[in-house]
Chains A and B, each alone.
Chain A
Amino acid sequence: MDIQPIFAALRKHKIPAILIVLEIALACAVLCNAVFMISQRIGELHMPNAIDQAGISDLNVQGTDPKLANADIPRDLAALRAIPGVTAATGIDMVPLGRSSSNSNIATTPSGVFQKDSPNVAIYMFTKDGPEALGLRLLKGRFFNDDEYADSKPGSNSYVPGGHVVVLTQNLAKHLWPNGDALGKQIWIGPQDTYTVIGIVADVLRPNQNGGPSQFYWSAFFPIGPYPVVTDYIVRSAPQDRQRVIHEAVAKLETLSPNAVVKGKTFTEIRDKYFANTRSMVWMLVLVCVVMLAVTAFGIVGLTSFWVGQRRRQIGIRRAVGATRVHVLRYFQTENFLLSTAGVVIGMILAFGINLYLMQHYQLNRMSWYYLPASAIALWVLGQLAVLGPALRAANVPPVVATRGA
């Protein structure tokens, strides 16, 4: 198809043409960035977490006497294990995605702990059976043995576990030793507190994302005896048993420690609550995108209808001198395609610029390149759909219009 006449016509209708280009450019720029933000959030929602997410439940206990922890914790755990359906139970200092967290800077040299950029990791401490209760997936090495649990109590003047062994997530191990085997290596928490890496597990999320998405898997696991750092019990059961198990467990714990305040939740609930904000943000962004595309489409329909109306006579003449309906239809479609192309080219440059700006000011990642052509295609399609109605109306202009005075 010859596009020369289209350019000639557009030169006569500069302003509506510029407006369409501008609309598509803006829509394309906003769409690119919004879709990119959506995909980032959805990525967060689906972050894998190598524990038995469907089977574990958390019991948070507050208000017990720390002095009695030594006797209370083994007693409570025995009671929890006795509940029918419970396959494992452990005491732990915090829960993945539970928000409340204990973190520490660690290093691979004794002096490195004082360095500002030493990695800040989540310090999980659990009692015997911790790996079974959480459902940790061992990739290399081993878990703790009974002696290591028994030997580990918090230092006399610190929160740091007293044992000398640690299990790291794969992600953290890779960060600490990028090209080596972490197994058997040492980490330091304080200048004197050193731990040997005895196992590597599949990645487990931290209680919260304070260090940003890149540090979300920086978790370290330590064995601990029955000491007051234990604030939660984790029980594992079949998914369908969880509600009953929680119900019985809360009742049991409340009878055992009458002063305690016990709260039970399934891990699914904890995870849903953690990501609730993200989920609603995703919906909001989706809504904004849909409405924005609709508004853009209205604009295109409005402008194209207007100039179809203006050019009825010219269309009539074309029909009279032999153009078919399809020719007229194709004419408007091609015209829209050309305008859309100009729009998406400007839009993609804009989108890229906005992304650069956001990266500088809001710690956003670089947008992958394919968001640009994807949005471009979306707007091409939108433009074609929007122009279809007015173009069909144009195609239906009878040739006889040419003979009438306008």
Chain B
Amino acid sequence: MLGYYLELAWRSLKRTPILTALMVLAIGLGIGASMTMITVLHVMTADPIPGRSAELFYPQLDPRPMEHYTKGEDPPDELTWIDAMNLLHAKKGVHQAAMVGGYLTVVPSEGATHAFIAGGRYTTADFFAMFDVPFVAGSGWTTGDDDKRAHVAVISRKLADRLYGTSGAVGKVLRLGKYDFRVVGVIDNWNPAPHFYDLGVGDYATQEQVFVPIETAMQLKQPIMTSMNCWGDIPTGDMTKAECTWMQFWVQLDTPAQVRAYRQFLIHYSKEQKQLGRFQRPPNTHLRDVMQWLAYNQVVPGSVQLEAMLALGFLLVCLVNTVALLLVKFLRRGGGLAVRRAMGASKRSVFAQLLVEAALTGLAGGLVGLLLALFGLWVVRQQPAAYAGLAHLDGAMLGVTFVLAVCATLLAALFPAWRACRLMPARLLKTQ
């Protein structure tokens, strides 16, 4: 039966090529524009670290003075050095790492005149294990290296290729400004998007090139890059003593019991610090996992959401237009349909036939839409926005494109097909 309907549909579409082309184009344009924007939105709201995001938590504390305290106010996004180190050394999680972004002057072997700036991250040993960072060679450093303030570094594959060519980078000397570091590991391309572990440097920031122990970096006074919040004097010197929040901290907690225990620990810690006189406010803590943290920070730019909504509005316009064109098409064919009805076809089979025809149109529209979406995403990738490079269509979105196209068209066809079935065959045949 379906084969027969398909044949009828094909003939009917061929008979009115201009109308068919218009419908396919309308659906294609609507699908193309909306899929482009939905894909961008989909990529931007994706889980940056699939499988692990529910186990990784970001603790927040409130070390600010009582001045201008309002109940229920959110604690700062970052931690102070003292709190980050206390949480780190408490070792209450499966893994935990303190970190901050920075930039380093890399001096290649060609000499100082070829020096360049590389984005860096100062962190602690667990960073690599906790975030499942893939290594090409070597490994991260140890907690011992953190404590010793060892001059060790983990570098990206890109930097390793640039500095040492194809030969192994592990064990080589990396000159950062005035200091020599030993390369202990090379990591593969790893660039979680959004850049969840430090949104302050940009929601879709690119991968850091150099990772060094945070205590070493602080000792050598390497420049940091972070969103800093201070309540005392703004310091230029020793950040580790400053009354500022400027560090990120992540902890891995595998079971709900561990999460509950950690929440208790944060409250307990806040109380303890208040007794010691360091904290003034009553305990104001939060513990959010990766996706909650992204939502709390409203990572997806409003402009992208607006564009997505506009694209959906556009799709709606295209669908109403398709309803109109299908109605025209089906009603114009009234005569043919009446003949089929008179020959014994039921209303239901005429309805099915019309829907098959619509589905075929939708499929063609989906194909046009797919091409347009691919083009649209290519255009998006040419844009300078940080997230632009991520805009690719994956398998799932490819499927969604066709399902959306066919469903949208079927939805648009329901009404015209129902109208066309209700025509009286006798009356139509008489007027022929």
Query: Does B383 contact A20, Cβ atoms closer than 8 Å?
Result: no
Which of A155, A258, A281, A306 interacts with B328 by CB under 8 Å?
A306
Query: Does B306 contact A362, Cβ atoms closer than 8 Å?
Result: yes
With a 10 A CB-CB cut-off, give which of B19, B112, B317 has the most chain A CB atoms. B317
The residues in B between 343 and 370 inclusive whose CB is less than 8 angstroms from any CB of A are none
The residues in A between 21 and 59 inclusive whose CB is less than 8 angstroms from any CB of B are 22-23, 26-27, 29-30, 33-34, 37
Query: Does A261 contact B105, Cβ atoms closer than 8 Å?
Result: yes
Min CB–CB distance A405 → chain B (angstroms):
9
The residues in A between 276 and 310 inclusive whose CB is less than 8 angstroms from any CB of B are 276-277, 280-281, 284-285, 288, 291-292, 295-296, 298-299, 302-303, 305-306, 309
Q: What is the CA–CA distance of A37 and B312 in the complex, to the nearest angstrom?
A: 16
The residues in A between 140 and 181 inclusive whose CB is less than 8 angstroms from any CB of B are 154-155, 157-160
Which of B105, B235, B305 interacts with A362 by CB under 8 Å?
B305
Q: What is the CA–CA distance of A390 and B310 in the complex, to the nearest angstrom?
A: 31
In the complex, per-residue mask of A6-23: 1 if CB is within 8 Å of any chain B CB, else 0:
000000000110011011
* Given A34-B310, A157-B233, A295 contacting B321 (CB threshold 8 A): yes
Query: Taking CB as reference atom, which chain B residue is nearest A299?
Result: B321
Q: What is the CA–CA distance of A306 and B22 in the complex, to the nearest angstrom?
A: 15
Residues of B near A63 (CB, < 8 A) are 105, 115, 117, 177
Which of A114, A115, A299 interacts with B325 by CB under 8 Å?
A299
B29 close to A (CB within 8 Å): yes
In the complex, per-residue mask of B262-282: 1 if CB is within 8 Å of any chain A CB, else 0:
000000000000000000000
Query: Does A26 contact B116, Cβ atoms closer than 8 Å?
Result: no
Query: Does A16 contact B327, Cβ atoms closer than 8 Å?
Result: yes
With a 10 A CB-CB cut-off, give which of A27, A260, A288, A358 has the most chain B CB atoms. A288
B166 close to A (CB within 8 Å): no
Residues of A near B314 (CB, < 8 A) are 30, 288, 291-292
Query: Does B29 contact A259, Cβ atoms closer than 8 Å?
Result: no
The residues in B between 1 and 47 inclusive whose CB is less than 8 angstroms from any CB of A are 19, 22, 25-26, 29-30, 33
Residues of A near B233 (CB, < 8 A) are 155, 157-158, 190
Query: Does A292 contact B22, Cβ atoms closer than 8 Å?
Result: no
Query: Does B324 contact A280, Cβ atoms closer than 8 Å?
Result: no
Residues of A near B331 (CB, < 8 A) are 306
Residues of A near B255 (CB, < 8 A) are none
Query: Does A159 contact B306, Cβ atoms closer than 8 Å?
Result: no
B137 close to A (CB within 8 Å): no
B384 close to A (CB within 8 Å): yes
Residues of A near B68 (CB, < 8 A) are 114-116
Which of A26, A33, A37, A277 interacts with B316 by CB under 8 Å?
A26
Min CB–CB distance A274 → chain B (angstroms):
9
B429 close to A (CB within 8 Å): no
Query: Does B113 contact A15, Cβ atoms closer than 8 Å?
Result: no
A254 close to B (CB within 8 Å): yes
Query: Taking CB as reference atom, which chain A residue is nearest B234?
Result: A158
Residues of B near A305 (CB, < 8 A) are 328
Q: What is the CA–CA distance of A99 and B233 in the complex, to the nearest angstrom?
A: 25
Residues of B near A281 (CB, < 8 A) are 303, 307
Residues of B near A190 (CB, < 8 A) are 233-234
Which of A159, A259, A284 interacts with B236 by CB under 8 Å?
A159
Query: Does A15 contact B419, Cβ atoms closer than 8 Å?
Result: yes
Residues of B near A158 (CB, < 8 A) are 233-236
Residues of A near B311 (CB, < 8 A) are 288
A406 close to B (CB within 8 Å): yes
Query: Does B320 contact A23, Cβ atoms closer than 8 Å?
Result: yes
Query: Does B310 contact A30, Cβ atoms closer than 8 Å?
Result: yes
B394 close to A (CB within 8 Å): no
Q: What is the CA–CA distance of A303 and B419 in the complex, to the nearest angstrom?
A: 15
Min CB–CB distance A295 → chain B (angstroms):
5
In the complex, per-residue mask of B358-395: 1 if CB is within 8 Å of any chain A CB, else 0:
00000000000000000000010011110000000000
B399 close to A (CB within 8 Å): no
A273 close to B (CB within 8 Å): yes
* Given A34-B310, A261-B115, A114 contacting B67 (CB threshold 8 A): yes
A62 close to B (CB within 8 Å): yes
Query: Does A358 contact B306, Cβ atoms closer than 8 Å?
Result: yes
B302 close to A (CB within 8 Å): yes
B313 close to A (CB within 8 Å): yes
Q: What is the CA–CA distance of A309 and B419 in the complex, to the nearest angstrom?
A: 18
Q: What is the CA–CA distance of A157 and B230 in the complex, to the nearest angstrom?
A: 13
Query: Does B328 contact A273, Cβ atoms closer than 8 Å?
Result: no
Query: Taking CB as reference atom, which chain A residue is nearest B303?
Result: A281
The residues in B between 294 and 339 inclusive whose CB is less than 8 angstroms from any CB of A are 302-303, 305-307, 310-311, 313-314, 316-318, 320-321, 323-325, 327-328, 331-332
Q: What is the CA–CA distance of A18 and B67 in the complex, to the nearest angstrom?
A: 62
A240 close to B (CB within 8 Å): no
Show 17 residue pairs from A and B whose CB-CB distance is below 8 angstroms, ordered by the A residue: A16-B327, A19-B324, A20-B324, A30-B310, A33-B310, A62-B103, A114-B67, A154-B236, A155-B233, A157-B234, A281-B307, A295-B25, A296-B321, A298-B26, A299-B26, A303-B328, A305-B328
Using a CB–CB cutoff of 8 Å, the interface residues on chain B facing chain A are 19, 22, 25-26, 29-30, 33, 67-68, 103, 105, 107, 112-113, 115-117, 177, 233-237, 302-303, 305-307, 310-311, 313-314, 316-318, 320-321, 323-325, 327-328, 331-332, 379, 382-385, 419, 431
17 additional contacts, CB 8 Å, given A114-B67, A295-B317, A362-B305?
Answer: A15-B327, A19-B324, A22-B320, A23-B317, A30-B317, A33-B313, A62-B103, A62-B117, A115-B68, A261-B115, A288-B310, A296-B321, A299-B325, A302-B328, A303-B327, A363-B302, A406-B431
CB-CB nearest 3 A-B residue pairs: A299-B321, A63-B105, A306-B328
